[in-house]
Amino acid sequence: MEWKDLDSRRCSVARAAEVVGDGWTVLVLRDLFNGVRRFDDLAAHLGIARNVLTRRLAALVDEGIVERVPYRAPGSRERHEYRLTPAGRDLRPVLLAMLAWGDAHRAGPDGPPVRVEHPECGAPVHVELRCTAGHVVDPRGPLRSVPAAPTP
């Protein structure tokens, strides 16, 4: 069976792209990973229109990526903040792979703007391809996509 014979939508990449295949959504996730959790803080940091941010957050809540958690600052009314769910935290490798690509191909003369460190030892974290037999896989080399048999 050739790749072209597969249903383009029956694909984990396509399903992930439905969730993160949007520039604003990627930036919202990035800020949530970096501890920006309140609507006003997200809107101010991202420079995103409030109605656009509302829609992106609602979609992420619907997808089970983000949860809305109430909090109350002293003397003010109840508000909500946004936190990544476990499924949301599992998107970290997607963002780190994007970070690595941007560092390698869009960093400009100042070099990479941000370094992501392993908190336990302070060394920079990177994304690596490995196979389950333990080999490091060259990300530029050919890989083989093997479709599972379609359900009859």
What is the 8-class DSSP label of residue 3?
A: G
Q: In angstroms, what is the minimal distance from the CB of 149 to a second copy?
A: 9
Note whether 145 binds a second copy by CB under 8 A: yes
Please state at what angle helix 23-33 crosses helix 92-105, rounded to 10 degrees. 110
The C-alpha atoms of residue 64 and residue 51 are separated, in whole angstroms, by 20
For 66, other C-beta atoms within 10 Å of its C-beta total 23
In sign, the C-alpha dihedral spanning 56, 68, 118, 48 is: positive
Please state at what angle helix 23-33 crosses helix 50-62, rounded to 10 degrees. 80
Query: Which residues within the stretch 61-100 sit at the binding site for a second copy (CB under 8 A)?
Result: 64, 86-87, 89-100
Interface residue with a second copy, options 6, 59, 80, 81 (CB under 8 A):
6
Interface residue with a second copy, options 59, 61, 67, 112 (CB under 8 A):
112
For residues 61 and 98, which CB has a smaller minimum distance to a second copy in the complex?
A: 98
Q: In angstroms, what is the minimal distance from the CB of 70 to a second copy?
A: 21
Q: In angstroms, what is the minimal distance from the CB of 151 to a second copy?
A: 5
What would you measure as the largest C-alpha separation in the chain, in angstroms? 64
Interface residue with a second copy, options 18, 49, 55, 71 (CB under 8 A):
18
Query: Which residues within the stretch 26-45 sit at the binding site for a second copy (CB under 8 A)?
Result: 26-27, 30-31, 33-36, 41, 44-45
